[in-house]
Structure 1
Amino acid sequence: MTQSLRDEAAIEPDAVSTATVTKQTQVIAIYGKGGIGKSFTLANLSYMMAQQGKRVLLIGCDPKSDTTSLLFGGRSCPTIIETSSKKKAAGEKVGIGDVCFIRDGVFAMELGGPEVGRGCGGRGIIHGFELLEKLGFHDWGFDYVLLDFLGDVVCGGFGLPIARDMCQKVIVVGSNDLQSLYVANNVCSAVDYFRKMGGNVGVAGMVINKDDGTGEAQAFAEAVGIPVLSAIPANEDIRRKSANYEIVGVPGGQWAPMFEELAKQVADAPPVRPTPLTHDALLNLFKGDAVGRGVVLQPATMEDMCASAGAAPRQSLEIIYEGV
């Protein structure tokens, strides 16, 4: 198993396709902290776009494979990685119908990921996109391709769209809490880094989810120089329907105007180069009592570590068994 994992990690990804683009498609990667509401946002956004007559492909790139669950009413669809493994074992090829499914005009698929402890999630993302290219990804005729990426995993596979210019722009989803804005700031840092390296991906803006009106996410967006595309309120009706796998971005519904405006903003917002914050600047967006400022870091001593004032220091972390 150890050697297998090492061999897998050593495999370099295929070169980026240089084939002629046959259709102008906006490829948009959405990043955010796990549980912040990316899947909720994307399921409703993609549904609204499809009802507006757009051809939309939604690709879940989160190992939890929960992107499409809301779209399909709680049903999980076979993932690309799982299907590819089964087909390969059976000596068969993967077809579009094996991994891509449709609801009310929205095309959707999940990349998936390895089982816990049995592989690298980022490597799974890379393998998934390589398979998509073999299935003709660059020739598909969509107006929008929306990629749902976990933002608080920093290995290379999850930064693929930014590092390899696989998307034109990034959207971050966050809330008025430090952890989600920390992740959003990391994504902005990645975009800024690869722009320095000659990349072209920019951040189109931020979606504030579960907005309680305290303003930290709005202040963050202003500080890094990106617009707020939408502020989805912390509302019980939205929470309950989302928990029941219901789409709320339905034309004519209570929340339709919000997602109609979001669809417009996502389509029109230009990608910009953000100015990521230092950690201290990020903390300064919050009240002191909310983030624990004023706490002094007290260095530990060897006596503290050994729980004894007279303990002799150990020379290594090697465990020594008496009498052996």
Structure 2
Amino acid sequence: MNVHPKLSAMTDNLRAEAAIEPDAPVTAPPTKTTQIIAIYGKGGIGKSFTLANLSYMMAQLGKKVLLIGCDPKSDTTSLLFGGRACPTILETSSKKKLAGDEVSIGDVCFKRDGVFAMELGGPEVGRGCGGRGIIHGFELIEKLGFHDWGFDYVLLDFLGDVVCGGFGLPIARDMCQKVIIVGSNDLQSLYVANNVCSAVEYFRKLGGNVGVAGIVVNKDDGTGEAAAFAQAAGIPVLSSIPADDDIRRKSASYQIIGRPGTPWAPLFEELAARVADAPPQQPRTLTHDGLLSLFKSSDVGRDVVLEKATIEDMCGPQVKAKPSLEVIYDNV
């Protein structure tokens, strides 16, 4: 039987490739370990403010830091870059694809004073799924060599209000070692914090390794609900950033307050050290009633009694009872 020359050559190439011995497994200790940390919190709670100042302080302490915004609003890096918008990976990728060009690092990653930063971006309102945008964005940065980059810390800023798959990616797929929550002394931010703890608890039961390293209490007014939540959930408070007018004014004008030598430097130096050292651990998820119990009953309406509605309430007092369509069989 005659074999076509091209088929014979392909067979020979496959056999030669199969005969190549794989590289021996690496047994030497790693020369560089990157901590990948996902930060979650309610929209508007101050994640971007916390991360901009934390990453800046880390860089000033000699660490190589990459900050990745994973929020469709694309506002993670705005404070770091003085209010300037950072071109997003998804938008840049679309433009490059239409032009027939490849995306390069310089198109999507920018730096300031030692901090490297990029924004994944997201679809326009009503024109796509934000979670799917996150997944697509990570696929793109993996193509750019994400797993070969040599950073000490990679900080991922995730919107905690959204529970669809893309936003839970780091927890579900073990893409980070630990999660840090940014919250405050209000019910909605702690509701989001509790949801994040629930996700971590769920995936750890399925064999995942991601844990919660702690909570940062932002705009702390001293009422203590966030600290009470942390104790109930079994996680530490990494830092309490006060509700201070100086912080508010400077942040509103896009100023970094976490600079060495400034009045707020010790706060962020301590936070940087705790973020580095805090181990990931499995949290305890609170029930809804348990979450409400952290607050005064008058503040959250725990004294309200649920009153059952009637068909008369729904249709009016003149409603007539209709015969049932249920089929009743006689006992045999």
TM-score, L = length of structure 2:
0.87
Query: What's the CA shift string for 1:248-277, capped at 9, x where partnerless?
Result: 000000100000000000000000100110
Give the direction of change, closer, same or farther, for the CA distance of 1:126–1:22 in structure 2 (3 Å limit): farther
Task: Determine the C-alpha separation between the residues in 2 that align with 1:300 and 1:67.
Answer: 46
- 2:251 maps to 1:242: yes
Residue 14 of structure 1: aligned partner = none
Aligned residues of 1:60 and 1:111 also touching (Cα < 8 A): yes
Letter in 2 for 1:225: G
Task: Determine the C-alpha separation between the residues in 1 that align with 2:71 and 2:320.
Answer: 49
Measured after TM superposition, the shift of residue 305 of structure 1 is 2.4
Out of 192, 211, 225, the position equivalent to 1:202 is 211
Residue 225 of structure 2: aligned partner = 216
Query: What's the CA shift string for 1:29-66, capped at 9, x where partnerless?
Result: 00000000000000000000000010000000000000
Task: Determine the C-alpha separation between the residues in 2 that align with 1:236 and 1:57.
Answer: 29
Query: What's the CA shift string for 1:181-230, capped at 9, x where partnerless?
Result: 00000000000000000000000000000000000000000000000000
Query: What's the CA shift string for 1:258-305, capped at 9, x where partnerless?
Result: 000000000000001001100101110001111001111122223322
- 2:52 maps to 1:46: no
Letter in 2 for 1:271: P
Query: What's the CA shift string for 1:56-99, capped at 9, x where partnerless?
Result: 00000000000000000000110001111111111111100000
Aligned runs of 1:29-108 on 2, under 5 Å? 29-108=38-117
Task: Determine the C-alpha separation between the residues in 2 that align with 1:304 and 1:86.
Answer: 56
Letter in 2 for 1:223: A
Measured after TM superposition, the shift of residue 311 of structure 1 is 3.9
Out of 290, 297, 310, the position equivalent to 2:306 is 297
Residue 202 of structure 2: aligned partner = 193
Task: Determine the C-alpha separation between the residues in 2 that align with 1:312 and 1:260.
Answer: 71
Letter in 1 for 2:84: R
- 2:271 maps to 1:271: no
SS in 1 for 2:157: strand
Task: Determine the C-alpha separation between the residues in 1 that align with 2:103 and 2:320.
Answer: 63
Out of 120, 135, 150, the position equivalent to 2:144 is 135
Residue 153 of structure 2: aligned partner = 144
Letter in 2 for 1:310: Q
Task: Determine the C-alpha separation between the residues in 2 that align with 1:238 and 1:179.
Answer: 22
* Percent identity between the two aligned chains: 81
Residue 318 of structure 2: aligned partner = 310
- 2:48 maps to 1:26: no
Aligned residues of 1:23 and 1:139 also touching (Cα < 8 A): no
Give the direction of change, closer, same or farther, for the CA distance of 1:313–1:82 in structure 2 (3 Å limit): farther
Measured after TM superposition, the shift of residue 309 of structure 1 is 1.4
Aligned residues of 1:67 and 1:148 also touching (Cα < 8 A): yes
Letter in 2 for 1:141: G
Task: Determine the C-alpha separation between the residues in 2 that align with 1:312 and 1:46.
Answer: 67
- 2:203 maps to 1:170: no
**Which runs of 5 or more residues in structure 1 are unaligned?**
1-18, 315-324
Aligned residues of 1:56 and 1:106 also touching (Cα < 8 A): yes
Number of equivalences: 295
- 2:287 maps to 1:252: no
Task: Determine the C-alpha separation between the residues in 1 that align with 2:217 and 2:91.
Answer: 33
Letter in 2 for 1:309: P
SS in 2 for 1:107: strand
**Which runs of 5 or more residues in structure 2 are unaligned?**
1-24, 323-332
Task: Determine the C-alpha separation between the residues in 2 that align with 1:276 and 1:304.
Answer: 37
Bigger radius of gyration: 2
Give the direction of change, closer, same or farther, for the CA distance of 1:304–1:180 in structure 2 (3 Å limit): same
